[in-house]
Amino acid sequence: MLNDSRNETPLVQLIDIHKRYGEGEAAFFALQGIDFTIEAGDFVAVMGPSGSGKSTCMNIVGALDTASSGQYLFQGVPVHEMTRDERALLRRKYFGFVFQGFNLLARTTALENVELPLLYRGVPREERHRLARLALDRVGLLPWEHHTPGELSGGQQQRVAIARAIVSKPLLLLADEPTGSLDTKRSIEIMQLLKELNDEDGITVSLVTHEPEMAKFAKRIVHFRDGRIESDKGGEHVG
């Protein structure tokens, strides 16, 4: 469906995206003519007050939601023309997701949690184990592979969630408030890990955050306000 190799086509391109909820006088315009591009290898922090449209925009980028109008191209392929099943395939094959709440299965081990995306893709058992262990090792948690989420700290649980997101080698990692449930020390550790995955592994990262200190880890900071992009500039970028 898509070309996995990098080329000059932007990874993500939103063109005049509008998102409306409701009809008539009750209509709410969450996005009002958004033009937004993410290049392969970028690390973008998306910020803005509650209700600014930042999460709505990222849900559209992640093919979790659709725009009311406008075009969404992923590697030049028109996502806005895809069926629900085609968008699900796009998510499964090319995207990784990390959320504030970890979303780990409580009664399964770290290894089994990381294996889940591979299970859905029909990867054989031994290969699932191998790839999941590599992902856990990448986030520094291989010694905890047989621990359940209840036996791990919040920071460790988020690392498992990140390992699960990268195990299928996504082209785009979408992280929605990944440090929102963590203390400052653990938050910095998670952001340093995301930065390493971007710098060293070449994974494109789009991060939604309300914390300026976390946004500094990104190469670029985009501010949303009232359904529009207020500013788009390079971040201070923590070294």
Residue 7 included in any domain? no
Residue 1 included in any domain? no
Q: What total of structural domains would you count in the chain?
A: 1
Residue for token digits 């060293």?
A: 200
On whether the CB atoms of residues 206 and 170 are closer than 8 A, the answer is: no
Structural domain that includes position 151: 12-234
Residue 6 included in any domain? no
Residue 217 included in any domain? yes
pLDDT tens sequence for the chain (239 residues): 555 444 578 999 999 999 999 888 888 999 999 999 999 999 999 999 989 999 999 999 999 999 999 999 999 999 999 999 999 999 989 999 998 888 899 999 999 999 999 988 889 999 999 999 999 999 999 999 999 999 999 999 999 999 999 999 999 999 999 988 889 999 999 999 999 999 999 999 999 998 999 999 999 999 999 999 999 987 655 55
CATH code: domain of residue 33: 3.40.50.300
Residue 3 included in any domain? no
pLDDT on residue 97: 94
pTM over 0.85: yes
pLDDT on residue 206: 97
pLDDT on residue 6: 45
Residue 17 included in any domain? yes
Residue for token digits 């008539």?
A: 24
Evaluate the CA torsion angle 96, 100, 105, 109 in order and state its sign: positive
Contacts of 164 (CB under 8 A, 6+ apart): 96, 104, 113, 114, 116, 117, 135
pLDDT on residue 239: 53
Residue 4 included in any domain? no
Burial of 25 per CB tally in 10 Å (0-12, 13-18, 19+):
exposed
Residue 143 included in any domain? yes
